[in-house]
């Protein structure tokens, strides 16, 4: 009798954990939030300072390819009100001081 009561209590206590809502996870955003308006203003031929003024500092500047800039945006645990970027991976390539190519993945 005692064993059956103990087993029933153990089952109820273990199943009670699934009744609670999942824990809150704060949305984590990393990178550059780029809007469609900013993306539409980006044009080939802009100088590096104009691009930085428009989009901000790039997330990654490759040491071996200094003329290639990467703007990356990533969100973990996104909520519906979390801001979304127009692009998640934008690569800009410069020739000299001017923007030569835009790759939007």
Q: pLDDT, tens digit, for every residue of 20-57?
A: 777 788 888 888 889 899 999 999 999 999 999 999 99
**Rounded-to-integer distance, Cα 25 and Cα 22, Å:** 9
* pLDDT score, position 46: 96
The pTM assigned to this predicted structure is: 0.71
Of 8-22, 33-47, 78-92, the one with minimum mean pLDDT is: 8-22
Rounded Cα gap, residues 100 and 93, in angstroms: 6
Distance between CA atoms of 92 and 99, rounded to whole angstroms? 7
Walk me through the domains of the chain, giving residue ranges and CATH numbers. 24-104 (3.30.1450.10)
Lowest mean pLDDT among 42-46, 56-60, 61-65, 74-78: 74-78
Reference 53, options 42, 68, 66; nearest CA is 42
């Amino acid at each position: 009798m005692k064993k059956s009561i103990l087993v029933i209590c153990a089952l109820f206590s273990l199943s009670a954990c699934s009744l609670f809502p999942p824990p809150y996870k704060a949305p984590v955003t990393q990178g550059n939030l780029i809007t469609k308006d900013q993306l539409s203003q980006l044009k080939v031929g802009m100088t590096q300072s104009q691009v930085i003024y428009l989009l901000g500092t790039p997330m990654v500047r490759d040491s071996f390819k200094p003329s290639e800039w990467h703007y990356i945006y990533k969100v973990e645990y996104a909520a519906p009100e979390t801001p979304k970027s127009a692009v998640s991976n934008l690569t800009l390539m410069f020739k000299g001081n001017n923007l030569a190519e835009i790759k939007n993945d």
